[in-house]
């Protein structure tokens, strides 16, 4: 599997020479504003602006090798499924653009230059504003921005007050059926089939919306950022909209995170949220297929006074009284049958 992924990596990432000096955006370069948050801390409004700059490439060899691994005969696929395959693989065939600089403009006219993109085409920024400016920036719990004098991309940071609830949920096998335990099935589901909702989960989230005070819904997954458009649409259609935090990888050979990479990404992402909203009460949702129980146990042990409930979707047929869950506060733990 890893050998195959490395082959795909070299096919999809034969990077062209990148100069050492910062340069402005070119007309054929694309900008994706990645999900961001805004929050008040130390009596200042903090606004994240995170971007990915890339250039599209065709790279037919990528689809050929992936199809071979998954045993897909693209010529026999129905037109709609072939179109979906092409859509899902598109962002794995781009060149990330390094040392790109540009300025973003907020709706109140404020302009902020972004730091130059790194080798992965990323620029991660946090800007601070006086708290008095918040009323001129926040509209419907969002702070909108765009590229200065350039309409090719628009973005926003999701704002939430530091009170009420913070709902943190995994995605694969938690809110959508993915078959994470079977690598080949997972990849076939990812590239050939539209996401399927996990039974009963939209109803549970709807109940959260009705019952919880000021809930901020966040979706933390080790899926790569290339799948953001699909997952964003899936969540918007079936679940409360919120902040989506995916693994920021643009390399095909990292499409499937190792156990260590997955845990590191989720822990750092959740820690960021806990630091941004130190007064929110936590509800944690995950599944038993990977490392969610272990990650959430660590959170419970370090933030026990903040965690109100943990929900684990049982895809491995482990009962609540199994050894894996012995250290959990049993009154806060709910095991959900898939």
DSSP β-bridge partners for residue 311: 285, 334
pLDDT in tens, 74-102: 999 999 999 999 999 999 999 999 999 99
Helical H runs in 278-336?
Answer: 292-302
DSSP β-bridge partners for residue 125: 49
Segment 207-211 shows an average pLDDT of 97
| The total number of residues written for the chain in this structure | 338
Segment 259-263 shows an average pLDDT of 85
Phi, psi torsion values for 109, nearest 5 degrees: 95, -10
**All domains of the chain in start order, with CATH:** 24-56+95-159 (2.60.40), 60-92 (no CATH), 165-336 (3.40.50.1000)
| Single pTM value for the model | 0.91
The two three-digit tokens of residue 300, written as one number? 């419970």
**What pLDDT does residue 1 have?**
56
**What pLDDT does residue 261 have?**
86
Contacts 24+ apart (CB under 8 A), 131-137: 131/40, 131/43, 131/44, 131/45, 133/45, 133/108, 134/40, 134/45, 136/107, 136/108, 137/45, 137/47, 137/106, 137/107, 137/108, 137/110
pLDDT in tens, 30-80: 999 999 999 999 999 999 999 999 999 988 888 898 899 889 999 999 999
Please list, in sequence order, all residues whose beta carbon lies within 8 angstroms of the beta carbon of residue 140, skipping any fewer than 6 positions away.
none
216-224 and 243-247 as β-strands: parallel, antiparallel, unpaired? parallel
Segment 198-220 shows an average pLDDT of 97
> What percent of the chain has a predicted confidence (pLDDT) above 70?
92
Q: How far apart are CA 156 and CA 149, in angstroms?
A: 17
Say whether pLDDT at 195 is over 60.
Answer: yes
The two three-digit tokens of residue 88, written as one number? 């899902």
Say whether pLDDT at 183 is over 50.
Answer: yes
Task: List C-alpha distances in Å: 300 to 79, 245, 303.
Answer: 48, 21, 5
Segment 6-15 shows an average pLDDT of 50
């Amino acid at each position: 599997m890893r050998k195959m992924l490395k082959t795909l990596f070299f096919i999809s990432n034969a990077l062209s020479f990148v100069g050492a000096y910062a340069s402005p955006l070119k007309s054929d370069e694309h900008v994706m504003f990645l999900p961001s948050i805004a929050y008040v801390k130390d009596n200042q409004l903090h606004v994240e602006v995170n971007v990915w700059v890339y250039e599209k490439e065709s790279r037919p060899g990528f689809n050929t090798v992936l199809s071979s691994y998954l045993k897909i005969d693209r010529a026999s696929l129905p037109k709609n499924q072939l179109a979906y395959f092409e859509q899902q693989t598109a962002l794995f065939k781009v060149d990330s653009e390094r040392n790109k600089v540009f300025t973003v403009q907020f709706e109140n006219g404020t302009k902020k230059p972004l730091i130059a993109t790194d080798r992965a085409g990323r620029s991660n920024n946090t800007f601070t504003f006086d708290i008095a400016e918040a009323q001129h920036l926040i509209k419907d719990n969002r702070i909108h921005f765009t590229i200065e004098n350039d309409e090719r991309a628009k973005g926003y940071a999701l704002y939430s007050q530091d009170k009420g609830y913070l709902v943190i949920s995994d995605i694969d096998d938690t809110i959508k059926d993915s078959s994470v335990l079977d690598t080949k099935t997972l990849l076939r589901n990812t590239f050939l089939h539209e996401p399927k909702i996990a039974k009963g989960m939209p109803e549970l989230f709807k109940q959260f919306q009705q019952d919880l005070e000021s809930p901020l819904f966040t979706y933390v997954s080790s899926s790569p950022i290339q799948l953001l458009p699909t997952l964003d649409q899936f969540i918007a259609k079936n679940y409360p909209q919120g902040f989506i935090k995916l693994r920021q990888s643009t390399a095909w050979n990292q499409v499937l995170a190792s156990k260590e990479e997955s845990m590191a990404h989720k822990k750092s992402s959740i820690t960021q949220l806990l630091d941004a909203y130190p007064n929110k009460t936590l509800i944690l949702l995950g599944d038993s297929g990977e490392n969610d129980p272990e990650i959430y146990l660590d959170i419970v042990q370090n933030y026990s006074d903040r965690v109100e409930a943990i929900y684990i979707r049982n895809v491995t047929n482990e009962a609540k009284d199994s050894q894996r869950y012995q250290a959990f506060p049993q009154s806060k733990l709910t095991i959900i049958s898939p």
